[in-house]
Structure 1
Amino acid sequence: MLRTLTNAALLAAAPLVLLASTAHAQDAGQWSFQVGAATDNRSKDASKSDGDPFVFGTAEWESASGLFYGLGGLETIDGGGSKLENELALGVRPQFAGFDFDLNVAHKYRVDADDGYDDDAWEFTADMKRSIGPASARLRLQHSPDGTGSTKAWTWYEGQLGWDFTPKLSGSVAVGRREQDNAIDYTGWNIGGSYALTRKMDLELRYYDTDADVPGEQYKSALVAGVSYAF
């Protein structure tokens, strides 16, 4: 019942996100960009690059109020014969009762995937965040009615706690659960930190693991190092 209700809520929010973004298209807003690389492409604590290094790039537009945004991104992967995945997303970031929310809908597409491979998916994400001094917390709910490949509907639940040790150094730990149709259910977790080497460049070191007992690199534990540059 809980899964049915949360899925329905995410699906219902999608047209509101699209409508709000369209209604505020006249807001000039501002653009930001980010590029980076890491020793593994981890999503929901599992590898999307079969344990190999990857590179990525994103472009984001944000309204002057900070409420509405849209983004596009590219990242290298290894799945279904595809080596590249693109993403387009629209979202809103409202504030309420001291909490920050992030609600978005994204479409992901795997370029040049094998014939017969399900190469695209819609994903709906809802984040609720709160920061008090150096401490922060986030709850995340994600759902796709039909994932890529043989995976059908899936839902991801995650809780994260963070701490800013200095203006440049921060750390966090997160635990999540993924429930999937036609694929393995698993629990994953990660712990690590990031350091602002400069105002625009961040270094990150994070350890990932899952309880999935599956051959291959996708669900294995890994220590991942990465670097990103924002401009």
Structure 2
Amino acid sequence: MIRSFALAALAVLAPAAALAQDGDNARYDPDRGSNWTFELGAGSDNRSKGASKSDGAPYVYGEAQWNAANGFYADVEFETIDSSGSYVETEAEAGWQYSAFGLDFDTSASHKWRLGAVAGHDDAAWEYQFDVIKDFGDVDARLRVEHSPDGLGSTEAWTWVETRVRWPLADRLQASVTLGRREQDNAPDYTGWNAGLAYAVNEVVELDLRWHDTNLDLPGDQYAGALVAAVNLAF
């Protein structure tokens, strides 16, 4: 299933054109030189890969990132969760944004820790991520592949493949749709998706409203559909 999904996502990205960084990390700009960027935010639910990490409860996050002039970057961040007895997850990440074959890429490795996790649940894990993002005029598409050889909590090895498309609706207003597939050991495989709107109030503040859902029908809020509102500050 993962292989079929990845091939379908690659078909979306096949034509050659310029790329734009998706904003998940500070955009690589060789003319800007080395710089620091910072992000703070909060939302009504902490959603990752379609599923809730906060058991449907509100959350906050923060990140500080150093961007080198040659495309390398490193960051540290935290986010509040409700999983494995832990309420705070921290992360240290290093990566490289670069261009090749007329495309832009972002590849990174990160180490995550869950503070105060209960005994018997893994409280640390390595994760690896690879992005390709492509512009089709005002529309951009992203293919993302993530993998961990041994995940957090009770989850063992997992792989996530997603594709996302964004397009402008009006000045400062964007729509986007994301569809992904997660296959994992010692946890259920599932398909997750979200669709919504992001509005840039100014150069610092962005508001986001979107629906998240999965194909799993299990008790609790982790995999259930939810409308999530968030505010993000970047400077």
* TM-score, normalisation: structure 2: 0.85
* TM-score, normalisation: structure 1: 0.86
Q: Which protein is richer in helix relative to its size? A: 1
1:30 aligns with 2:35: yes
1:220 aligns with 2:233: no
Equivalent of 1:75 in 50, 63, 79: 79
Give the structure 1 partner of residue 162 of structure 2: 158
Kept in 2: contact 1:134–1:165 (CA 8 A)? no
Structure 1 stretches lacking a partner, 5+ long: 7-27
How many Å apart are 1:74 and its aligned residue?
Answer: 0.5
| Alpha-carbon distance in 1 for matches of 2:219, 2:34 | 47
Kept in 2: contact 1:104–1:125 (CA 8 A)? yes
1:205 aligns with 2:204: no
Calculate the aligned-residue CA RMSD, in Å.
1.6
SS in 2 for 1:94: strand
| Alpha-carbon distance in 1 for matches of 2:119, 2:161 | 32
| Alpha-carbon distance in 2 for matches of 1:96, 1:174 | 25
SS in 2 for 1:52: coil
Percent of aligned positions that are identical: 50
Give the structure 2 partner of residue 10 of structure 1: none
Give the structure 2 partner of residue 19 of structure 1: none
Structure 1 segments of 4+ aligned residues over 4 angstroms from their partners: none
Give the structure 1 partner of residue 10 of structure 2: none
Give the structure 1 partner of residue 28 of structure 2: none
Give the structure 1 partner of residue 173 of structure 2: 169
Give the structure 2 partner of residue 50 of structure 1: 55
What does residue range 1-231 of structure 1 map to in structure 2 within 5 Å?
A: 29-65=34-70, 67-231=71-235
1:93-113 Cα shifts (integer Å, max 9, x gaps): 111233211100010100011
| Alpha-carbon distance in 2 for matches of 1:122, 1:214 | 27
| Alpha-carbon distance in 2 for matches of 1:178, 1:115 | 26
| Alpha-carbon distance in 2 for matches of 1:223, 1:199 | 25
1:45-83 Cα shifts (integer Å, max 9, x gaps): 100000000000000100123x11011100000011110
| Alpha-carbon distance in 2 for matches of 1:217, 1:30 | 39
Structure 2 stretches lacking a partner, 5+ long: 7-32
| Alpha-carbon distance in 1 for matches of 2:197, 2:127 | 27
SS in 2 for 1:56: strand
| Alpha-carbon distance in 2 for matches of 1:116, 1:174 | 33
